[in-house]
Structure 1
Amino acid sequence: MSVVVPPPAVPTAPGALPLLGHGVKLLRDPLDFMASLNELGPLVRMRGPVFTPDVYLVNSPELLHQVLVTDARSYSQARITAGIGSQFGISLVMDMSFDGLTLFASHLRHRRAVQAAFHPHRIASRTPAVRRATQEAAAGWRAGATILLDKEMAHLAYGVNARAVCGDTPALSQVTAALGALSSQTTAGMYWRLALPGLAHPKHVPGTGRFVRALRDLRCAVRAALSHHRSQGARGDDVLSLLLQARYSDTDEPLEDQQIIADTLFLLWAATHGLKEVLPHVFYELARHPHVEQRVHDEIDSVLKGRPVEAEDLPALEYTRRVVKETLRLHPAPWMLGRRTLVPVQLGPAELPAGTELAYCTYTVHRNPALHPDPLRFDPDRFLPDRAKTLARCADIPFGAGVRKCIGDTLTMNQLLTAVATIAARWRLRTEPGHRYRPRARIVISPGPMPMTCHPRTFLLPGHPTAHRPDMCSAHETEPSQ
């Protein structure tokens, strides 16, 4: 491992402790700590715990664009990201090199081979399944009843993504159950090993055994689904069937089973958290901003006219899409990712040798007042085309950027829009009195417990004399988001 001498032009974040570096601050209050570093400059040094290298936080969107897009060949996945991917096997989240290819070329070769599984037309074809699953999830809701929205949306995410990725297979219920078990053990089984490298052996981290068993069960379930699809000729439109059909363009060779399983495991986990963490935040913000909610309801009523949402309706839900994008800005699921320099690089004021660890915090970038005026204000119209085009490149990166941008970004947006339109067409959800929002930042930002009360709505065309409900407005309309 290269020894990185801190460049004098790069400030060091305050509050580092001997041996522990900034680890305590990252464990205790990571979101506020990271957001506070915006003011220190485009590049900030964070001290790592003993036995781990220092990490340079990239705050500037210009430098982020350099790292993620223009000079992407000079970087590989960092310890943080590679540590996540190593749990599932060599997959899209990890760089890999074979047949003499560089890390960059190898990643690009693999990505091109699996890209067809995420074609917009294939994703659109899965809209009815997402809608039906959402309808089934809300079927038991009753007027005035209190639900735990975080739990409800988690179960929805497990079922939706098990079906989208693995399709209709006898192993579907097995995949869904194992995916739920794995997701519930992610913090205990994965986060602490990444957060405390060198300080604790995996066997000594609480929850590791349950995580390993859940991952083993999910791998077995995916392997069973893979065998089923192969026996049926891989004729399905789900991701797993399409990975069976995938070929590398340079050799026309198929993906090996081990590779397909690793990709599927990671895609299941990542897609689940893209839905599970974000959906509760959408309805949390709608409950806090009734004027925004009313515009969403008016648009849904106007576009759908009381019928179930279809894929063709999603482009017309322009304001609802902006609401989802604004939610992703304020509450991104993956909140910190990293890169490692493969060669010496000049990054802003610093000359960094090969082996330097970099990090970028989506949460911090999205709340930078220099990039997003009045950043704590929930304002979906900041994503109107004329306003959005003035944003700096890499100022809005909920799915990353460049060749390593999340391959499932369109899949997640489709699922989110379909679920929001299905629920909001029938329900208003209100946070319980006295509820305190307590997000938890681990590998992803979780909304924490979110009890909400269900209020049914009646479909009304915009313009109807009772379509607008002034009684639903409140002082929360102007409150900044947390």
Structure 2
Amino acid sequence: MIPKKINLPSTQSPSTTRKTCPVIKGYPLIGVTSEFVFDLPQLLQRIVKEHPGELVALKIGPIHIYLTSHPDHVQYVLTTNEHNFGKGHTMWKGYRLIAANGLAISEGETWFRNRRLMQPFFTHKHISSLANCMITATLKAVERFEQVVSDSPIDMHKELQQIMQSTMLETIFGTSLERHKIEATADAIQVALRAIHLRSFLYFLPEQLPLPGERTLRHALQTIDDILLSIIRERRQSRENRDDLLSLLLQARDEETKTGMNDQQLRDECVTLFVAGHETTATALTWLWYLLDEHPEVDRKLRAEIDSVLGGRQPTFADLANLRYTRMVIQETLRLYPPGCVFPRVVRQNDEIDGYPVKAGATIILSPYMTHHLPDFWNQPDVFNPERFTAEQSEQRHSYAYFPFGAGSRHCIGNHFALMQAQLAVVIIAQKWRPRRIRSHTVKPQVKAFVLCPRNGLPMILEPV
């Protein structure tokens, strides 16, 4: 039964009167900088309760940034007037160090050309061709669990990161990539992301001001360049065609110019795919196992579906369409704990969002984490309920009330790829183990490098099924 029309699209017309933003001032001089950098989820929770659906100004040191959650505002920024809201050089500045021209960060003609080049390789046809590679890589990576299963707890988030790192690197570069290169690349990217996180949230500080870890960051970036550029050059020279993403990207040709990507562009796209494909998926799966342990009735239903569809055998790409409840569990996890919990945009020219004036140069932050918890659009928003994502209920929902992969022309190109990756990993792990969390450990979300993950990890014991 559909809840009382709470998920219907908004019928509210855009405001014709000027509105004034509430301002969250915080402490003198620093404003809410400390909470913004170190406890962003709590700040977002407070704002969604005190100012649901409003455009809110946050005082961050000497500047104001704007935070919005209403689906109508999300639609305006990401679709209706998207050309006036770019990535800019504020909170994304740090990420340009690791993948300056990657699809997630680039803009203008560079972004348009590379989106056009890459789009065909994320269609159903090519995703299905990568499924076998991903299944093989996931099965091999999950063998890690065989080595750590005992009566002692493991950090589920850390272990899933390791699994997704190996899976994603092999999906991008193939199974010939040596183990030491996999580990060195993954470690260097993690080091770079930790350093970049601090730079992203303190972007308003003068560039001349040195921040901790500068030498470590530069060394990590050099390691990434040395390994990935050598792999790309070797593959280009060999002209060997394999069932991996790098082979597909090497084949990509622009329809107009008939040119492909140069080595640096390939390097940036591979880093972007790796970061998006392993970090967000590992984090989503971490929250999923936490939620399943908290809701045994959902866990039983998911396992019953897996047993019914697969009967104990390994999954294939064709099975995913029949694992509907499993997919709904993943979608509901992404609603409650969207890994990408904030999407910064910069206003290019003076504008107005539903009556709220915003000036050119201002930073606007969209937050799926906030939008996904708005009571006007989600019935009992804090309750874990995968049934929200039946086809019937989804049709009743505001199109921009749920956007874990972004929206508009810049929605994540790999959203279907990520859902496939998550479904396969859930099935493969569920067929072997039932993760149980340590009840004495307090689970609290935090943001690292824009990703919503559990603070201090998630200790769990893996019970064999």
TM-score by length of 2: 0.89
1:45 has 2:57 as partner: yes
Aligned position for 2:196? 190
Aligned position for 1:433? 439
Aligned position for 1:326? 332
1:453 has 2:457 as partner: no
1:56–1:359 CA contact under 8 A, matched in 2: yes
User: Which residue type is aligned with residue 193 of structure 2?
Assistant: T
1:93 has 2:104 as partner: yes
Aligned position for 1:70? 80
Shift of 1:225: 1.4
1:157–1:276 CA contact under 8 A, matched in 2: yes
Aligned position for 1:99? none
Tell me which of the two structures has the higher relative contact order, counting C-alpha pairs closer than 8 angstroms and 6 or more residues apart: 2
Counterpart-to-counterpart distance in 2, 1:135 and 1:198: 42
Counterpart-to-counterpart distance in 1, 2:149 and 2:26: 51
Counterpart-to-counterpart distance in 1, 2:378 and 2:384: 11
- 1:288–1:338: structure 2 CA closer, same or farther, 3 Å change rule? same
Match of 1:230 among 228, 236, 247: 236
Aligned position for 2:13? none
2:100–2:106 CA contact under 8 A, matched in 1: no
Aligned position for 1:125? 129
1:166 has 2:173 as partner: yes
2:149–2:461 CA contact under 8 A, matched in 1: no
User: 2:60 is paired with a residue of what secondary structure?
Assistant: coil
Q: Per-residue displacement from partner, 1:234-263 (whole Å, max 9, x unpaired)?
A: 512322222211112221111122111111
Q: Write the mapping of 1:282-293 to structure 2, written as runs, cut at 5 A.
A: 282-293=288-299
User: 1:333 is paired with a residue of what secondary structure?
Assistant: coil
2:25–2:58 CA contact under 8 A, matched in 1: no
- 1:131–1:278: structure 2 CA closer, same or farther, 3 Å change rule? same
User: Which residue type is aligned with residue 208 of structure 1?
Assistant: E
2:92–2:200 CA contact under 8 A, matched in 1: no
Shift of 1:382: 0.8
- 1:315–1:242: structure 2 CA closer, same or farther, 3 Å change rule? same
Aligned position for 1:179? 186
1:222–1:261 CA contact under 8 A, matched in 2: yes
Match of 1:394 among 390, 397, 400: 400
Aligned position for 1:136? 143
Counterpart-to-counterpart distance in 2, 1:95 and 1:227: 23
1:20–1:48 CA contact under 8 A, matched in 2: yes
Shift of 1:421: 0.3
User: 2:24 is paired with a residue of what secondary structure?
Assistant: coil
Aligned position for 1:477? none
1:85–1:266 CA contact under 8 A, matched in 2: no
Unmatched 5+ stretches in structure 1: 1-6, 97-102, 458-482
Aligned position for 1:476? none
Q: Per-residue displacement from partner, 1:329-350 (whole Å, max 9, x unpaired)?
A: 1111111111112233231112
Counterpart-to-counterpart distance in 2, 1:311 and 1:204: 49
Aligned position for 1:473? none
User: 1:36 is paired with a residue of what secondary structure?
Assistant: helix
1:35–1:364 CA contact under 8 A, matched in 2: yes
Q: Which moved more, 1:25-34 or 1:366-375?
A: 25-34
Number of residues of Structure 1 aligned to a counterpart in Structure 2: 441
User: Which residue type is aligned with residue 113 of structure 1?
Assistant: L
Q: Per-residue displacement from partner, 1:200-250 (whole Å, max 9, x unpaired)?
A: 768743333323322221222111210221122151232222221111222
2:25–2:32 CA contact under 8 A, matched in 1: yes
1:427–1:454 CA contact under 8 A, matched in 2: yes
Aligned position for 1:113? 117
- 1:134–1:389: structure 2 CA closer, same or farther, 3 Å change rule? farther
User: 2:98 is paired with a residue of what secondary structure?
Assistant: coil
Counterpart-to-counterpart distance in 2, 1:377 and 1:391: 17
Shift of 1:301: 0.3
- 1:325–1:74: structure 2 CA closer, same or farther, 3 Å change rule? same
Shift of 1:47: 2.0
User: Which residue type is aligned with residue 138 of structure 1?
Assistant: F
Aligned position for 1:80? 91
Aligned position for 2:9? none
Match of 1:148 among 155, 158, 163: 155
1:124–1:414 CA contact under 8 A, matched in 2: no
- 1:234–1:397: structure 2 CA closer, same or farther, 3 Å change rule? farther
Shift of 1:184: 4.8
% identical equivalent positions: 27
- 1:33–1:170: structure 2 CA closer, same or farther, 3 Å change rule? closer
Counterpart-to-counterpart distance in 1, 2:274 and 2:261: 18
Counterpart-to-counterpart distance in 2, 1:95 and 1:137: 36
Counterpart-to-counterpart distance in 2, 1:300 and 1:120: 22
User: Which residue type is aligned with residue 62 of structure 1?
Assistant: D
Shift of 1:150: 1.6
- 1:359–1:108: structure 2 CA closer, same or farther, 3 Å change rule? same
Counterpart-to-counterpart distance in 2, 1:234 and 1:75: 41
Counterpart-to-counterpart distance in 1, 2:208 and 2:221: 15
Aligned position for 1:30? 40
TM-score by length of 1: 0.86
Q: Per-residue displacement from partner, 1:245-295 (whole Å, max 9, x unpaired)?
A: 111222111112211111112221221212221111111111111100000
Aligned position for 2:252? 246
Aligned position for 1:468? none
Counterpart-to-counterpart distance in 2, 1:143 and 1:95: 45
Unmatched 5+ stretches in structure 2: 1-16
- 1:331–1:138: structure 2 CA closer, same or farther, 3 Å change rule? same
User: Which residue type is aligned with residue 43 of structure 1?
Assistant: L
Shift of 1:18: 3.4
Q: Per-residue displacement from partner, 1:372-423 (whole Å, max 9, x unpaired)?
A: 1111111011111111111112111111011111112122111111010001
Counterpart-to-counterpart distance in 1, 2:214 and 2:341: 22
User: 1:139 is paired with a residue of what secondary structure?
Assistant: helix
1:332–1:363 CA contact under 8 A, matched in 2: yes
1:364 has 2:367 as partner: no
- 1:48–1:15: structure 2 CA closer, same or farther, 3 Å change rule? closer
Report runs of 4+ in structure 1 exceeding 4 Å deviation.
200-203
